[in-house]
Structure 1
Amino acid sequence: MQSLHYNVAIIGAGVAGLTAALVLAKQGLKVAVFDSQGPEKRSFGECVHGNIAPILAKLNLLEQFEQTGHFALQGYQIEWDGAGEYERHLLTSPHGTGWILNRSAFDKTLFLQAQQAGVEIFWHARLHDLKLQGEKWDLVIKHDDGAHSSVTANFAIDASGRARVLTRKLGVSEKKADTLIACCSYLQHSAKHSMFAKKAIIQSDQYGWWYLVPFSSSQSSLCYFTDTDLSIPKSADALLEMANTHSALTQYLTACEPDKTTPFKIVPAYSSSLASYFGKRWLALGDAACSYDPLSSYGVTSALGSAFYGASALLKYFNNEPQYLGVYQQLMQARFLDFLEQKDIEYSKVSHYQSAFWQRRKVA
């Protein structure tokens, strides 16, 4: 069994994990990131508000981000509350409209920056077991080829998203606000397609809501959000067929077809929070700490912010100032509570459907 030692071991090579690794490695810490998937994993494109710019600037990534080719978000086309189509932001930002991310390009940027900073990234490597032994963690990492690695680390970070691979093994309690899932597919279309007003399309329906957005000259993301116990499309073709029952979506779906090179996915999208975001020699970041309803467009921005401030607090911890981990938690909890209030306001605007999905989201 291979034996390795690091100052910090991070579970999850998503936005939060790679960002935290980058911050820590730039300050001289030896950092490893373990991810159960491979570098070819693809996340679906999404919108980010303009308030992502300040945190990108703190990470020295803003200039590169602006040159990567992400679409400038020109607005949301919405049919939400039964009053017809209109344009606005569901949750506005004082920093401007924002961007439509090409997630593949964005994730690659973070990966390369972390790698250049000296972060060791292990793909197809999942956390099998861990135990705190005095002042360090003993972790067993299982690789897809069946091999195991023995890893020791002074500190462990859960950045595995809603899967919460590390904190669930530690028995940290969590609270879910709902059972929302996302049924997602990439679409292929012509570069001359009418989609390229560079808008995000949001459409409510009887059992959930739709999200459609272009993120490159030939690809868009189509997602349907509903609850786990309601009717769920089982394929990209079924998803597209369902979307075409809405006139507000059909006008943008003409000549679109599912991208056969990317698998149809059904993934968790619920809002949730851990009871605590840190403990003895561990810390949770991004969706592993608290996850946001995609309606907010908070996901990537929150992951970046959480990773930056969490990693900064951890640097203070290593400098014998552990109280900053508590400051990090207070910051995250305040933001999450504010989000829950805003989320309830948005969902309460939909009163023309009487299905279980919308009844569950009525504010008491």
Structure 2
Amino acid sequence: MKDNNFFNVIIIGGGPAGIAAGLTLNSRNISTVIVEANQLSNQKVGECIPPNAYPLFQKMGLESLLVDEKHHLYYGNKSVWGTSVLHEKLFLFDRYNKGILLNRTYFEKQLQDISKRNQINWLVDYTLYTINKEKNFTKVVLKSKTDELTLFCNYVVDATGRKASVCRKLGIEKKTLDQLASLSFKCQIKTTIPFYVHTESFENGWIYVSPSEGDNVIVMIFTDLDLIPSKNKGKDFILDIMNNSQLGQKVFKTRLEEDNIFDITTRIANTTYLEKPFGGNWLAIGDAAYSFDPLSSYGITSALASGYYGGHALADILLKKEEALDVYHYIMRDVFENYKVQLHEQYALESRWANSIFWSRRN
């Protein structure tokens, strides 16, 4: 085994959770490499950072990333939920009185740039091929289109998102609580959408409208995967929901037609978890460990937090602090249990369609 093939920690996945772990481990002088299959992720929809997430960004020294013209401020939430009346909640009286609408792809590039400035090692265009525990170390084989690389480490971190690639290689299965999915699409309208996050419930799900400066608004319709129609009926499904919604009437102020809708994508958005997010030579962070219903706004904040706390846990365990991974598990499990309570309470506010398939599965 060559010295340049050994790292204390190999992180599989270069998204926000993986980079947060890498930055944390680097700050503790733990040798680390981040393995990423793609230089930049596919275009992702904007993600909203609520005001209460600011302390985490400050703790991690990342708050300066939010002050960028590619990200936008938003000032509250507007929702039609449990009633046909549009309600508004402003952040004006919160300690941190504004949220941030992230340009998600650009934010990930910002994180990558910070990690490289901190001289964190990267291997790009490689995917995990095999992982095997040997006598004193773990052997990891990576493959690219043209190359195969063998590395050794003390711990492997699964930061591969919902697919949890490392866990799958190890034969570890996640538990699934629901089958939530989204139909996301761009909607071309002439009306400028105010900088609020808009949500509205309907008979078999709920709608999310992201603020936008241009005339291409990002909309997501959330429902269960088995309730999403076939691809050739997708636009009719979308038009029926949007043109009968309060958001369509009061926010878009126009009736949508087929030509207004493009780039329709189906994404999985369900709640999943690992009963135990670590083992003798591995740790899961971000969506690989716990994935959240987007209604909760836990997404990227939880990813960064789990990377931060997971990174410290690995640094501590390498210093022979035997309880470190159990402490990480306790922190993340507590977050997840609180999330489940809050999510149930939010869904319980909607009782107008108690007998519909979607809502009867949640209430």
TM-score past 0.5 threshold: yes
**Structure 1 counterpart of 2:314, which letter?**
L
Confirm or deny that 1:335 pairs with 2:332: no
Pairing 1:80–2:86 present: no
1:168 aligns with 2:165: no
Does the 8 Å CA contact 1:45/1:215 hold for their aligned counterparts?
no
2:211 is equivalent to residue 210 of structure 1: no
What residue in structure 1 maps to residue 223 of structure 2? 226
Paired positions, count: 354
Within a 5 Å distance, the mapping from 1:59-78 to structure 2 comes to: 59-78=60-79
CA RMSD of aligned residues (A): 2.8
Give deviations 1:293-347, integer Å, cap 9, x for gaps. Answer: 1001011111111111111111111222131211111011011101101101111
TM, length-normalised to structure 1? 0.88
In the alignment, is the contact (CA less than 8 A) between 1:51 and 1:96 conserved in 2?
no
* Structure 1 residues 21-32: aligned runs within 5 Å: 21-32=22-33
Q: Deviations over 1:208-231 (max 9, x none)?
A: 111111255455321111111113
**Conserved in 2, the CA contact under 8 Å of 1:45 and 1:220?**
no
Query: What letter is aligned with 1:213?
Result: S
One-letter code aligned to 1:296: S
Corresponding residue for residue 199 of structure 1:
196
Query: Which residue is equivalent to 1:309?
Result: 309
Structure 1 pair 226–62 and aligned structure 2 pair: CA distance change class (3 A): same
* Alpha-carbon distance between aligned partners in 2 of 1:112 and 1:188, rounded to the nearest angstrom: 33
Q: Say which SS state the counterpart of residue 265 (structure 1) adopts.
A: strand
CA distance in 1, matches of 2:30, 2:70: 32
**Cα distance in 2 between the residues matched to 1:61 and 1:255:** 41
Opposite residue 140 of structure 1, the aligned amino acid is V
Alpha-carbon distance, 1:233 to partner: 6.4
Secondary structure at the aligned position of 2:226 is classed as coil
| Rounded Cα–Cα distance in structure 2 between residues aligned with 1:227 and 1:271 | 12
Tell me if the contact between 1:68 and 1:105 (Cα under 8 Å) persists in the aligned partners: no
Q: Please give the alpha-carbon distance, in whole angstroms, between the structure 2 residues aligned to 1:255 and 1:104.
A: 30
3-state SS of the aligned residue for 1:51? Answer: helix
2:121 and 2:260 mapped to 1: Cα distance? Answer: 35
Higher alpha-carbon deviation: 93-102 or 324-333: 93-102
| CA 1:129–1:324: 2 relative to 1, 3 Å | same
Q: 1:203 to 1:318 in 2, by over 3 A?
A: same
Task: Give the deviation of 1:163 after TM superposition.
Answer: 0.6
Q: For residues 348 and 61 of structure 1, what CA distance do their matches in structure 2 show?
A: 35
Deviates more, 1:60-69 or 1:336-345: 60-69
Determine the C-alpha separation between the residues in 2 that align with 1:203 and 1:104: 26
Contact 1:189–1:255 (8 Å) recurs in 2: no
Among all aligned residue pairs of Structure 1 and Structure 2, give the percentage whose two residues are the same amino acid: 29
User: Aligned ranges for residues 339-358 of structure 1 at < 5 Å?
Assistant: 339-353=339-353, 354-358=355-359
The answer as to whether partners of 1:243 and 1:249 remain within 8 angstroms in 2 is no
TM-superposed CA distance for 1:237, in Å, is 5.1
Return the alpha-carbon distance in structure 2 between the equivalents of residues 220 and 154 of structure 1. Answer: 46
Task: Give, in whole Å, the separation in 2 of the partners of 1:79 and 1:97.
Answer: 21
Q: 1:103 to 1:279 in 2, by over 3 A?
A: same
**What is the match of residue 42 of structure 1?**
43
2-side partners of 1:357 and 1:342: how far apart? 18
Mapped contact 2:192–2:215 kept (Cα < 8 A): no
Compare 310-319 and 249-258 and name the one that shifted more. 249-258
Tell whether the 8 Å contact from 1:183 to 1:239 is kept in structure 2 after alignment. no
**1:1-364 → structure 2 map (5 Å cutoff):** 4-88=5-89, 95-143=96-144, 145=145, 147-187=147-187, 193-195=191-193, 197-215=194-212, 217=214, 219-232=216-229, 234=231, 241-251=239-249, 252-253=251-252, 254=254, 264-353=264-353, 354-362=355-363
Q: Amino acid of the residue matched to residue 204 of structure 2?
A: Y
**Greater displacement, 65-74 / 310-319:** 65-74
User: What's the offset of the Cα at 1:96?
Assistant: 4.2
Q: Deviations over 1:23-48 (max 9, x none)?
A: 21233333222233341522211212
Deviates more, 1:36-45 or 1:338-347: 36-45
After alignment, is 7-16 or 77-86 more displaced? 77-86
CA drift of 1:50 comes to 1.5
How big is the shift at 1:242? 4.5
Q: Distance in 1 between matches of 2:110 and 2:189?
A: 25
Are residues 319 and 351 of structure 1, via their aligned partners in 2, closer, same or farther at CA, if it must alter by over 3 Å?
same
Look up the SS of the partner of 1:88 in the other structure. Answer: strand
Amino acid in structure 2 at the alignment position of 1:125: Y
Structure 1 residues 327, 258: closer, same or farther in 2, change over 3 A? Answer: farther
Q: Give CA-to-partner distance per residue, 1:183-208, whole Å, 9 cap, x none.
A: 22244566xx420x201110111221
Q: Which moved more, 1:17-26 or 1:300-309?
A: 17-26
